[in-house]
Amino acid sequence: MKSPEENILDKAQLLFSQKGFSGTSVRDIANEAGVNISMISYYFGGKNGLLTALVKSRLEIMKSHLGDLVENKKLTPQEKIELLIEKWVEKFWEYRLLNNFILRENNFELMDELNELITEVKMSRYNNFRLIILEGQKEGSFKKDLNIPLLYGTLSGFLKHLYFSEDFYCQLLEIEENKDQALLNQMKIYLKSLYKYIINE
């Protein structure tokens, strides 16, 4: 049984993701969550507070997921990249609603706290990626002249774009059944092969 707060956060995430922050009214959220309108102010201190709580609660989880992968001593850099791709494809999928939403609203006016938090998470993700590449370069298996930021942007942009335009790409890929899983699998295979070609010496 979900708590009313958690329920509101879930519905808010869905609606924000579908219609944007400004396009979603607290009435919509309250109706969808089956609670009184005033509960949003009651629980979260208002619409802005709801947004902050939503982003914070979800980002908190996303932040701490790959640190152990980077520091793992038993895996080669190549294996790490493949595992990172696996995990990201799945993590991004799991949080695609939030990601799409954060992507939409490229800056939250007057909510610097949120902007900082988002930048922090983005930077943390980038650094995990970067450390693995650097390790591979030092160890000799990766090319020396890689543009790491743009390499990261390729992955990040690809994931966001695919999840955002899921239907369009399922159509192009002629995926008709079990859409989600099939798309994810194709993406994993494609990305691994992509990075193998680009990165490896």
**Which residues form the interface with its own copies (CB under 8 A)?**
18-23, 100, 103-107, 109, 119, 122, 126, 147, 149-150, 152-154, 156-162, 164-165, 168-169, 172-173, 186-187, 190, 194, 197-198
Residue 26 or 81: which CB sits closer to DNA? 26
Member of 24, 99, 100, 137 binding DNA (CB under 7 A)? 24
Rule CB under 7 A: say whether 119 interacts with DNA.
Answer: no
Contact 96, 16 (CB under 8 A): no
Distance, CA of 30 to CA of 130 (rounded, Å)? 42
- Tally helices (H) and strands (E) across the chain: 11, 0
Backbone φ, ψ for residue 200 (5° rounding): -70, 140
Closest to DNA by CB, 64 vs 107, is 107
Figure out which of the listed residues 9, 15, 35, 187 binds DNA, where binding follows CB under 7 A.
35
C-alpha 187/C-alpha 162 separation (Å) is 9
Instruction: Taking each helix axis as running N to C, give the angle between helix 47-63 and helix 4-19, from 0 to 180 degrees, rounded to the nearest 10.
Output: 90
Contact residues: DNA, CB under 7 A = 4, 24-28, 35-43, 45-48
